[in-house]
Every structure is written in C-alpha cells, then in structure tokens.
Amino acid sequence: MKNTIQYIGVALFCAFFGTAQQAPAPAQTGTVVIEGATAHLGNGEVIENSLIIFEEGKLSFVGPATTKIARKGTQIKGEGKHVYPGFIAPSTSLGLIEINAVRATDDQDELGEMIPHVRSLIAYNAESKVVESMRPNGVLLGQITPMGGRISGTSSIVQFDAWNWEDAAVKVDDGIHLRWPNTFRQGKWWQGEERGYHQNEEYQEQVTKVEVFLKNARAYGDGAGEGLNPAFAAMQGTFDGSQKLYVYADGEKEIIDAITLAKDSGVKNVVLVGGYHAYKITDFLKENDIPVLVQFTHNLPVFEDEDYDLPYKLPKLLVDAGLLVGLQNGEASNFQTRNLAFYAGQLVGQGMDKENALKLITGNSATILGIDENYGTLAQGKSATLFVSEGDALDMRGNRLTHAFIDGREISLETHQTELWKRYSEKYETGK
C-alpha cells in the first residue's frame, strides 16, 4: 500500500511538471501605447478615456487621451476595455509549495521555532505552475512568505515572470514574520478533550519566549552578544527600520499584546496580518500607526455570536475607521490567491467604493510592503506593471485579460489552467 501511494505521488509529480512554464518575456525594446481604455490608477482615481505610454519598462505618460502627444511604437486599442496596475498578493507561500501531497514540492517551512534567518527567496520556484496561473487574473506580484514556527523566517517580494529567484526579486528580505500565540485553542477531541475552544494555559509562557528572543536579539545588535548568531542577526532590520515585522494575530488581546511587546522591544515598523477582531480596537491601531493585511473575504464567521457577514465586511470596517488596509489570501490554499480581485469585488457589495476596493490589492498593498515607489499605481516614472481587461477586473464575469506587462515586458497569459479550459471547452461545444 505504501509503495502504491509513493508511485501515485511520483506520477502526479511527473504529470504536473511534464511541461515547463511559459518562457519569461524578453526586456521591452520599443514603446507601447494603450489608448481609449478606462484607466483605474490604483489610488482611487479613474481616467475614463485614457492614454498610457511606457518604454524601457517605465510609464512615461498617464493621462487623458485628448492630450496632444506623439503616439509611436506598438499601439493597443483600448476602447471599451479597462487598464489596471498589477495586483499584489501579500503573505503567500506561492512558489514554495506546488502539490501538497508530494513532499518533494513542499518547501514552505523549516524545523525550529525561532528561525528569522530562514529566507524564503532562495527556495522560491520561479517555474511554478501555480504561480503561473495567477497571471491570467491580474495577480502579477507577491510577497513570498515562509510558514511554520513562531518566527517563521524572512519574506521577499517577487514578480511572477522570471527564469529564477534572482530574476524574480523585486524587494529582497523585506520583513520578518511572527505568528503570535492564541489565548484560546481548539479542543483536542482525539485526546479526550471536549470540542470547541479552550483557554490556552501556555499562552503566557509562549509570549515570554517571544519577549526573551526579541530582547536578546536587540541586545545582540547593541554589541552585547558574543559570536555569530544567525537568528539574532536576521532580526536587526526590524530594529533599525529597514525591515518590517509582520505579526499574525486575530483576537483583541493577542493584537494588543503583540503590538505592545514589539514596540517595547524596539521594533520600528509593525504590520498586522489577519486581524479578525481588529475592528474592535481601531483606535489602538491608529494610535500606533499599524497597517493591516486583512484576511480574505470569502469565509465564514469564526464564532456563533458574530454577524454572518463579518468576514465579507471586515476590510470595509477597518477602512472606514481610517486604517491603511490591504487584502491577503490568509489561510486559504495557495491556488486561491488568483481570486484576490474577487475578494476586493466582494467589498463593493458591502458598500465600498469600487476604486477604494481596488486600492486594497494595488496601491495600499504596495505601500504596506514598501514597494510603492515603483508598483501599485499607474503614474509617470513607475514600473509598467499593468494589464488590460475586457471588463471589470473585480468581477469574475469581466476579468478577462487581453494583455499583461511586468516591467514593460509583455508576458504570456497561457497556463496549464487555460490549456485545460480550452481543451474541455472544445469538448463541451462538440457535445462529446
């Protein structure tokens, strides 16, 4: 039986990797002009009849099509279409795991509890077919984040069209990821405990371990440590402000405890990830200038006494409170990251303005991740990382890309998924 399972795993691996990813696009050589489309700039603004020009990977003009300026190079007719900045997926392990059932393709976590020196970037698989499948939905960049442990490691931000991790890197080692302990835990029914939530008796002990680690890491940076300690050395960017500390917490107490401890330990920039109950303590978050990468909206409430639609409206509640908010895929499977646009679209149904919803996966996420100088919005001088859609990209009925560019390079929108779609569309049309 064991051998049979191994054979099946190998067969799946071979089938999945039987054909390589589309070859990355070459560098942009000429000028590209997109005229007549509705341009959604990613900062809340819209240009109905737009003119977008880019060359050498940078946007040279973004404005109304009525502007008198020379049109040269490749011209794309945008009438009736929409242009968006490339969507950004924070806090994802894309490229670190391909098939959950095949251990050889799973490199998203390492052994150990406090391992900030584990770098996700060097394990990133630029030829991942799962990564490739993000592009037809407009997801063109991502923060590749390690999982596991209390301090999981160091993330990096990449673009999704590259030969290898060196080519993919947009921002190297941007932050450390701390998964805060919970005050309550699920009952281990298989060990005789009752189902449901129980108080975590080890919470304070777990918090103390984090506190001691942060204080020792700070002392190490101040010269108090002896010898080389890779874990402590990896934390220094969080104390000098060159890296951010991404804290994963959901409950009110957990959020307050985590942010207070991080600030008291000398961490300069903290980002809250998850924040399920963050809407209850928005004043605290604003006071401490904490942005939130909130969980995806397609979810169910955790507790019985919560509003049935809390996950749907949570990002809007935080935005309405004046917080800087971005959307992330949370604990959903990696492949669901391609639905990022539809998570944002869900907020429109909750009353959020469509352009503000778009900001949660473009301009806001770029600002939170620290890549807003080049990505996240359509503006002169920024990277030409954008796409053209036949309709509303936040609606699955309109999210049909015709062109996509990363740093001005026109990338392929063909993937394993589109191949299957075409194959079975033909089968359906023929009635066989």
- Rounded CA gap, 395 and 374, in Å? 26
pLDDT in the model for residue 17: 44
Q: For residue 65, is it within any domain?
A: yes
From the list 320, 336, 291, the residue with the least C-alpha distance to 100 is 336
Q: Please give the model's pTM, rounded to 2 decimal places.
A: 0.90
Q: Is residue 8 part of a domain?
A: no
CB 275 within 8 A of CB 318: yes
312 lies in a domain? yes
Q: Are strands 197-199 and 184-186 parallel, antiparallel or unpaired?
A: antiparallel
Q: Is residue 7 part of a domain?
A: no
> Do residues 114 and 151 touch, judged by C-beta distance below 8 A?
yes
Mark whether 205 and 338 lie in a shared domain. yes
| Domain shared by 301 and 238, yes or no | yes
> Tell me, what's the pLDDT at 100?
67
Query: What pLDDT does 174 receive?
Result: 96
- Domain total of the chain: 2
- Round to whole Å and give the CA distance between 349 and 343: 11
Looking at the chain, the number of H-run helices and the number of E-run strands are: 13, 20
- Distance in angstroms (rounded) separating the CA atoms of residues 385 and 141: 9
Mind spelling out the 3-state secondary structure of 65-110?
Answer: CCCCCCCCCEEEECCCCEEEECEEEEEECECCECCCCCHHHECCEC
Q: How far apart are CA 261 and CA 209, in angstroms?
A: 12
Q: What is the mean pLDDT of each run of 10 residues along the chain (432 residues)?
A: 45 45 86 97 96 96 94 94 97 83 67 90 91 94 92 95 95 96 77 73 92 95 80 95 96 96 96 96 97 92 89 95 94 82 93 96 97 97 97 95 96 86 79 60
Residue 373 burial (CB < 10 Å; 0-12/13-18/19+)? exposed
Judged by DSSP in three states, 133 sits in coil
Residue 12 lies in a domain: no
pLDDT of residue 228: 87
What residue numbers bound the domain in which 171 lies? 87-375
pLDDT score, position 200? 82
Same domain, 106 and 144: yes
pLDDT at 381: 96
- First CA to last CA distance, the chain: 36
Q: Of 92, 159, 160, 89, which is closest to residue 342 (Cα–Cα)?
A: 89
| Residue 129 structure tokens | 């077919």
> Are residues 206 and 254 located together in one domain of the fold?
yes
- CATH assignment at residue 427: 2.30.40.10
Q: Are residues 40 and 175 in the same domain?
A: no
Same domain, 324 and 371: yes
Same-domain status, 237 and 348: yes
Q: Is residue 5 part of a domain?
A: no
The predicted pLDDT at position 202 comes to: 86
What's the pLDDT at 119? 93
Q: Is 211 helix (H, G, I), strand (E, B) or coil?
A: helix
Asked if 182 and 39 sit in the same domain, the reply is no
pLDDT value at residue 16? 44
Q: Rounded to whole angstroms, how far apart are CA atoms 228 and 301?
A: 46
347 and 384, same domain (yes or no): no
Same domain membership, residue 225 and residue 347: yes
**In terms of DSSP bridges, do strands 325-327 and 74-77 run parallel, antiparallel, or are they unpaired?**
unpaired
Residue 268 and residue 203 share a domain: yes
Do 358 and 418 lie in a common domain?
Answer: no
